[in-house]
Structures are given as structure tokens and as C-alpha cells.
């Protein structure tokens, strides 16, 4: 009993001693969290990467383990932009409310349901899709127990206002009922005409809405977090006169879009922010911060500590077993095969930029390495630094030629070519410094690494507006060809 009590106290102390703590490193925008049984479960945006919506489990909100993913393929009705999954638990069922772009239509809010947090999830389809888009859903029961869906109308995408709406939802989550009711919209200068990412908790006589405002993403972001309150879910809502309550500091930039949660009687907010050093290259990362309710009936965040420095990450994937680890992702627009056998990953090729899979990066300085099994490859295989399908850097080997290619806005340019003696194994290394200075190296069996591009490549334009970079592998060629790989490694440089 004493040992268990001490363990709990240590966890509480570690949370209290870190007012703003990185807990989901790497690209995890719009994180959501809920307690189910004795565990906490979290998920985050994947945008145009599959599998969609990782599912993490934790006992303490700080140490998370990836257990599953919600979707291994796109829902039948959607074609891209899988955003803002909000995980919730109600009456023995687990729900994920999420955004997707409807084929031939606009952004929609949809729902999926499972009996367990790790799934499998059954997609229930779209709930609402306004002409200018509907995003950032959150479910909440009102003061009478009636179930509502709260969401943002994506008016900013066409230069219009962005109201936050509420509408009654069917208990089976298959549709909305009645008329929508506006809760609030952007009215303050700091909000820059945009509010979104609402999550709500109830305490005492008030409902409290955490909301994000202004520009979420990229190098010019100005995101911040505000609070509003109301005695009734449908309003009237009053905004805090001290908003924004979370904004930029020395370590984290553009904080917002998260979920409040209770751990051991203390209140926390899990949200995303850019680390000021790795910026948009590593994406929006999951950050935890403690808050308290004030005697005046508002919210204040605890500001008494540190804990903001990301820890170096090292990944070694030897492709053991018969399937890819959950850390790998691929593009929603590309269809190709993947197989793992005898410590070797084989992926089928695609023409032009190729087929690619990747893992999130975590810092501003890192090395990546992989070995191409040339003896088993019929396509050009190699290493890649990936923004999206139109922006990436690759170094590949085919027969006795190595090619370094830059793809920018969908247009390819050969940066360097090197003739080599044909080798059964070719190992590539990728060195990234200060986020965007990129050097490729290679070696054949028994040799040492040699630079492929003595002049570093500038990768500043690679990250998409809403995602961080991925480091991974690529196979370029005809669709009936493939490339094989061994020993993928990614390591932060201290």
C-alpha cells in the first residue's frame, strides 16, 4: 500500500511541477483525451496521412503508449482531410467525432463508435456538412441531460464569420435533431475573426468552453486559447475579459485546440503547440497544462514551473514480425502494397514521385538511416524527407545509379546523380540540421558513408500548412515493381 501511495504521489508531483509539459511529442494536432475505466485515451489529427487517428493509452496523462488506430483506410464517404478527432465515452460506448472532406462536397463532421477504446470502430457517417464546411466537433449534455453536438462553421475558408453552433443529437449518433443554435463567434481583436476547436466542461453552476482563435498553423500562426462560460449550454455565453489565457512563450508557440480532463482531482488541459525550436517542421505537439477554477468563477492556469524541453528520440525498426509498427504512415491519395517478412519491408512502387511511408520527426536536428536491399528490389528504393505528395526530397538507388531528387509543388528536379558499383545492399543516411538543411549520404557493403549532395538542400518549403514533416522510405517505378528495406533508424542529435 505504501509503495502504491508513493507512486501516486510521484505522478501528482511530476504533473504539478510542470505547468506546460510535452506529453505527445511529434505531429499531434488537435489532441483529445477522455478517461475510460482506469485509463486515459487520447487521439489527434492525421490530416492526409493514414492510418487515421492514433489511439494512445496512459495511466497518468504524461506517459502514453500507442495501442491502435481508429481507421486503416478512408471512410467510404470521405476523400481527404481527416481532422480533429474528439474521443468521448458515454453509456458504455466509445465515440470519435471527426472531420473529413466529403467526396464532391464540403468538410463534414462525422461520428464513429466502438465497444472498446482500441476499437474496432464502426463509421456512422456525416452528421453535418454546411456549404462552407463544418469542423471541430464536441459532444456535451446540457443541464437537463439532453445530448448536443457542438461544432464550428468553417466560414473563414471563404472569408465569412465562424460561428460556434450547437444542435441536439440522436442518442445513437446517427443524426441531428431540431434547429441549430449559435453559442458565440469571434468578437475580440485577439481572435482575428476566427474561433474554433471548442471543448466544454461543467463545474459548479457554469459550463466552461475552451476555444482556440486566430490562425492555427504554419510559420505565420497566431493561435491562442480563450475561455467562455454560461449557466446554460445554449447560452448566453460570456467571454473572459482576461483572454487569451494561453498564448506564446519562450518554449511554445500558437497554443490551442485541446480537451480538459481530470486526473486525481486536479484539472488539466491537453492541447497542441509548436515547439519554438523545431517549429512547424516537427508539427503541432501535444502539451499538458494544469488549471484551477477561481473563486470568481473563472479559470486560471498554473504557471509555477518548467518541463518544456523535449527529450531526444531514437527509433530503431528492424521490421520484425509480419506487419508494420503503428508509427508508420502513408498518404491518403496513394494506393500501394506493403509487406513485412524476415526482417525486411517491401513496398510496391508508384511512378513519378513514388510510393512512400514515413514517421513523424521530433526535433530540429536528426539523422535518418535505412538500408535498401538492392538484390531484391526491382524499383528504385531509398530514403525520403516528406512534406506531402507534392513536396519531398529523396535519395534512391536503381542498379548502379543513385539519384537525389527534389520535388517542389509537384515538379521534380534532379539535385545529384552518382554512379556506383552494383551492390546487394546500399545504406542511405539523411542528416537534417536546423530543421531545413538537408544532406544525403550513402555507402555500399564494406564502405564508409559518402556525401551525395555536398551543397546542402534547403527544405524550408516542405512542411504543408497543417502538418509536420515525415522521414521515411520511397519506392519509385512501375506499379508491378517493388523495393525492399532493412533497418530503419531515426535519432535526434543532441
The residues with which 429 forms a beta bridge, in sequence order, are 369, 441
365 as an active site residue: the answer is: no
419 as an active site residue: the answer is: no
Q: Write down the catalytic residue from 27, 60, 191, 196.
A: 196
Q: Write down the catalytic residue from 30, 123, 365, 389.
A: 30
Measure the CA angle with vertex 479, ends 476 and 483; round to 5°.
50
Measure the CA angle with vertex 459, ends 453 and 462; round to 5°.
135
Decide: 347 and 482 in contact? Cβ < 8 Å: yes
How far is residue 78's CA from residue 80's CA, in Å, rounded to a whole number? Answer: 6
How far is residue 161's CA from residue 463's CA, in Å, rounded to a whole number? Answer: 28
- Strand duo 284-293 + 266-275: pairing: antiparallel
> Roughly how many angstroms between the first and final C-alpha of the chain, as a whole number?
40
**Which residues are marked as active site?**
30, 196
Amino acid at each position: 500500500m505504501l509503495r502504491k501511495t508513493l507512486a501516486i504521489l510521484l505522478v501528482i508531483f511530476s504533473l504539478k511541477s510542470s505547468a506546460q509539459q510535452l506529453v505527445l511529442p511529434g505531429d499531434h494536432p488537435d489532441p483529445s483525451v477522455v478517461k475510460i475505466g482506469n485509463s486515459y485515451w487520447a487521439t489527434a489529427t492525421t490530416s492526409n496521412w493514414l492510418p487515421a487517428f492514433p489511439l494512445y493509452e496512459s495511466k497518468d496523462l504524461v506517459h502514453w503508449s500507442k495501442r491502435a488506430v481508429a481507421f486503416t483506410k478512408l471512410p467510404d464517404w470521405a476523400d481527404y482531410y481527416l481532422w480533429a478527432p474528439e474521443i468521448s465515452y458515454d453509456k458504455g460506448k466509445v465515440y470519435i467525432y471527426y472531420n473529413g472532406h466529403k467526396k464532391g462536397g464540403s468538410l463534414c463532421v462525422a461520428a464513429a463508435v466502438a465497444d472498446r477504446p482500441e476499437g474496432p470502430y464502426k463509421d456512422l457517417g456525416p452528421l453535418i456538412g454546411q456549404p462552407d464546411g463544418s469542423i471541430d466537433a464536441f459532444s456535451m449534455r446540457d443541464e437537463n441531460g439532453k445530448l448536443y453536438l457542438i461544432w464550428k462553421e468553417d466560414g473563414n475558408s471563404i472569408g465569412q464569420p465562424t460561428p460556434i453552433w450547437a444542435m441536439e443529437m440522436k442518442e445513437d449518433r446517427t443524426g441531428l435533431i431540431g434547429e441549430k443554435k449559435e453559442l458565440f463567434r469571434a468578437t475580440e481583436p485577439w481572435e482575428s475573426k476566427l474561433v474554433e476547436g471548442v471543448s466544454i466542461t461543467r463545474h459548479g453552476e457554469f459550463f466552461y468552453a475552451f476555444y482556440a482563435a486566430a490562425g492555427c498553423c504554419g510559420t505565420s500562426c497566431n493561435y491562442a486559447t480563450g475561455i467562455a462560460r454560461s449557466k446554460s449550454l445554449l447560452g448566453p455565453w460570456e467571454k473572459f475579459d482576461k483572454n487569451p489565457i494561453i498564448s506564446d512563450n519562450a518554449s511554445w508557440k500558437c497554443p490551442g485546440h485541446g480537451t480538459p480532463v481530470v486526473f486525481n482531482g486536479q484539472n488539466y488541459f491537453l492541447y497542441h503547440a509548436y515547439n519554438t525550436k523545431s517549429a512547424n517542421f516537427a508539427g503541432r505537439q501535444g502539451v499538458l497544462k494544469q488549471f484551477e477554477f477561481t473563486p470568481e468563477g473563472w479559470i486560471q492556469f498554473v504557471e509555477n514551473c518548467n518541463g518544456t524541453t523535449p527529450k531526444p528520440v531514437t527509433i530503431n525498426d528492424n521490421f520484425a514480425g509480419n506487419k508494420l509498427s503503428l508509427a508508420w504512415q502513408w498518404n491518403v491519395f496513394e494506393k500501394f502494397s506493403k509487406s513485412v517478412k524476415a526482417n525486411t519491408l517491401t513496398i510496391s512502387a508508384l511512378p513519378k514521385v513514388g510510393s512512400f511511408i514515413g514517421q513523424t520527426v521530433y526535433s530540429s536536428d536528426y539523422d535518418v538511416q535505412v538500408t535498401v536491399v538492392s538484390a531484391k528490389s526491382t524499383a528504385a528504393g531509398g530514403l525520403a524527407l516528406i512534406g506531402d505528395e507534392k513536396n519531398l526530397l529523396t535519395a534512391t538507388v536503381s542498379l548502379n545509379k543513385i539519384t537525389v531528387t527534389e520535388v517542389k509543388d509537384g515538379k521534380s528536379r534532379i539535385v545529384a546523380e552518382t554512379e556506383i558499383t552494383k551492390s546487394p545492399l546500399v545504406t542511405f543516411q539523411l542528416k537534417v540540421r536546423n530543421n531545413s538543411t538537408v544532406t544525403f549520404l550513402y555507402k555500399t557493403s564494406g564502405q564508409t558513408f559518402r556525401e551525395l549532395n555536398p551543397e546542402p538542400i534547403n527544405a524550408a518549403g516542405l512542411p504543408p500548412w497543417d502538418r509536420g514533416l515525415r522521414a521515411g522510405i520511397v519506392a519509385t517505378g512501375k506499379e508491378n515493381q517493388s523495393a525492399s528495406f532493412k533497418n530503419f533508424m531515426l535519432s535526434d542529435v543532441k
